[in-house]
Structure 1
């Protein structure tokens, strides 16, 4: 028996359009965002003084990290709009903004041409990219989750979330193609700009696709019940602080892991290990493909046995395998680089699979976009955007190629402890009593009501009770 406020399931053909649009939209969005990392070496040369190579790389990755400072603001802005106006229109604006800022990087003059204004303009474009990215992942995943059948949400979101890995593969191969077909002079002169300009064009494709999907049934039900909150951010901070804490902790490992694989590892192999740049890119593509395949399988697994067990396994595997993975990857050959990165990608992929839907299930529909975006983006600022910068710095300071592995292992162990206490949510309805007014004007803080409303008095603290089972 289902919640009487729950709308009928989205037809299969419509669900396919939603999943396809979200997957392609995430591809376009994250291609635009990660292509900067794969152009890090040439950006360091063209936009910053070249007297000190390490200093130039650190400056390049610092600009990369600064873009993440806008992510919480983007999450607040687009989360607020998405919870008040709906997911669909907001997501169209997001992908257009990302395309404009990415194409802008491809059109910028260099440091030699305009001096200090070049890195300043680069910084502005990165800030706009960060603003856009702050609303993307949780918004598109929320749209998919709210269209998906309840028993398959983990698989659906794991599949679309996994497409965040493919842009890094595509960008890496694109850069590899350009660097091997163009002369060094041509690539430095204009070839590096091509991937950024292509990103701008791809955003128009994403905009068209997103204009053809329907609004979330869960949001429409909340809207019909006149339960759309006027101040979703205030409601989140007042009523869902515990869920925010869980979201931040899960996003800490998600952010560090994702941007280690997509934004740091290829530079680590070429600059610190001394591996040929082509081999570094190829090995990174293989590892990201492993993560892409693993994520929907792990998401489907979480539909069957629960989110918490899969998160625990993924965090534990990441803690145990980080050192062996880096040890293999730093051995200096293509085979060991593939093996080491793939080992880490497999462990992280298990964690990534259910984490996308967990972010969303922690919050009710009326604050889902805002709540998940706040926790997710805050952690990505601290642990995701700093991954390339901190990794480069810690290797230079310590002189150890395994220093980044220790960092990841320690963080994974901490997240493992938190994952043991996260509330189980794979059987809960995404439309709760507070979304339809079934439990009065305000539901208890961090409540996770079941799919079927009960006429008896509610539990005093369902989250705490669930978390201790």
Structure 2
């Protein structure tokens, strides 16, 4: 059952729907910069994992302390299913723009709080407890970003460019790790080790405040999605969007989960684990590890654009199958190269993996959104997507490190990723093609 909640007059819809290239550029730039701010705040923790382990989880065993630090990294993902529910509901009820504004403020506040936290030496066990709380808030916020930003762009974009424009927005998630890595690299090389451990590590976190305010300003200058406005005016707001998703769109939620499984595992392996893998397992110095990881993420950025472009030409399904197949083939060779312990091999190995995964990431951002009607899009896609990110993305750094530790095999994480790639490829064989389908489904215009 649905009802109209203050539906706007038709004259209110037309200026937005016909706002042209200027409004579209504003929406895409706001979403892309919003993604940058959001994911900078979320991933900067991973690049400070070693010092956080020493300051918040003191232990006679450095490996145990590092695993504890990575476990807290994963804790942020525990809130993602809840965040998917909360922000999916808000996005489907009050609109995409207002929800995205709340998301970026929440993330910025939690990130700054981490930068201000006292250490274990100062307040004891309360320090790691507060760290966990901040990570939980970050996880809640991150849950709404990918589905919210991508949906906002998709619902403004012309049909024949949806894949590329969403991929462009989504690809900006690859740039914050580069900036965070280079910033940490700069700080660790400018400061003495004692100064970095004492206060320098806080700088990247404190930068979350101005970044969040800039992102908020940009987002407030955009208009609400035409698809959402049209749905609200014709069908009305759905009072229980998640219930409808579970009742009528179970298959679509399953596809969304599968696509997000490889997407999250690949992204958080590159951004959350590979620097640790190169330094701890492969014996590469930290500077080289950060530099090589930045090159890989830059490759992933451009590969995502290619994937999005191809999905507008040959379809989402074919491009996703291509990306999953290549990922399956290159996982093990990529890890073998990266594990050689020198800068050139690290760049080559990670770059190979980033190219394959980026090609897969590109069409995923739009494909799982097109499966759902506008009235439940953020709820249906957000929950299934974020459950997968909790299961596969949140565990990626910790599980990868654990597999190497338990098996003694440096390639253990590669076998795991290859297995996930194969399963996702099989599921994607049954994925419906949606690239020529309107985002306003018939169910949105009852």
TM interval, shorter chain, is: over 0.9
Counterpart selection for 1:135 from 139, 144, 162:
144
In the alignment of these two chains, the number of paired residues is 433
Cα deviation, 1:234-291, whole Å, max 9, x if unaligned, reads 0100010000000000000000000000111011101111100000000000000000
For 2:103 and 2:216, the matched residues in 1 are separated by 9
3-state DSSP of counterpart to 2:118: coil
The structure 1 residue matched to 2:43, chosen from 17, 26, 34, is 34
CA contact 1:10–1:217 (8 Å) conserved in 2: no
| Equivalent-residue separation in structure 1 for 2:43 and 2:263 (angstroms) | 16
| 2:60 counterpart of 1:47 | no
Equivalence for 1:238 = 247
Write the distance in 2 (CA, Å) between the matches of 1:124 and 1:135: 18
Residue 294 of structure 2: aligned partner: 285
Q: Deviations over 1:412-436 (max 9, x none)?
A: 0000101111000000000011101
- Which residue in 2 is equivalent to 1:255? 264
Alignment partners' CA distance in 2, 1:404 and 1:163: 25
1:9–1:149 contact (8 Å) kept in structure 2: no
SS at match of 1:423: coil
Going by fraction, where is helix more abundant, 1 or 2? 2
Q: How far off its partner does 1:10 sit?
A: 4.2
Aligned to 2:373: 364
Cα gap change, 1:192 to 1:352, in 2 (>3 Å) = same
Residue 79 of structure 1 contacts residue 370 of structure 1 at CA under 8 Å; is this kept in 2?
A: yes
Preserved CA contact (<8 Å) 1:290 1:342:
yes
Q: Deviations over 1:278-317 (max 9, x none)?
A: 0000000000000001111210111010000100010011
> Under a length normalisation based on structure 1, what TM-score does the superposition of the two structures give?
0.91
The Cα of 1:49 is off from its aligned counterpart by: 1.8
- Over 3 Å counting, the alpha-carbon distance change for 1:10 and 1:147 in structure 2 is farther
Runs of 4+ in structure 1 off by over 6 angstroms are none
1:313 aligns with 2:322: yes
CA apart distance, 1:199: 1.3
User: In the alignment, which residue of structure 1 is the partner of 2:426?
Assistant: 417
Aligned to 1:183: 192
How far, CA to CA, are the matches of 2:306 and 2:255 in structure 1? 23
Distance 1:156 1:48 in 2: 42
Gapped regions of structure 2 (runs ≥ 5): 1-12
8 A Cα contact 1:9 1:147, kept in partner: no
Unaligned runs of at least 5 residues, structure 1: 1-5, 438-469
Q: Which of residues 77, 97, 100 is equivalent to 1:88?
A: 97
User: CA offset at residue 190 of structure 1?
Assistant: 0.4
Distance of 1:208 and 1:274 partners within structure 2: 43
CA distance in 2, matches of 1:69, 1:236: 21
Alpha-carbon offset, residue 54 of structure 1: 1.1
RMSD of the alignment, in Å?
Answer: 1.1
Corresponding residue of 1:60: 69
CA distance in 1, matches of 2:425, 2:369: 19
Matches of 1:236 and 1:368 in 2, distance apart? 9
Deviation, 1:203, is 0.4
What's the CA shift for 1:345?
Answer: 0.2
Task: Give the C-alpha shift of residue 50 in structure 1.
Answer: 2.3
In 2, distance between residues paired with 1:411 and 1:432?
32
Equivalences for 1:370-389 in 2 at 5 Å? 370-389=379-398
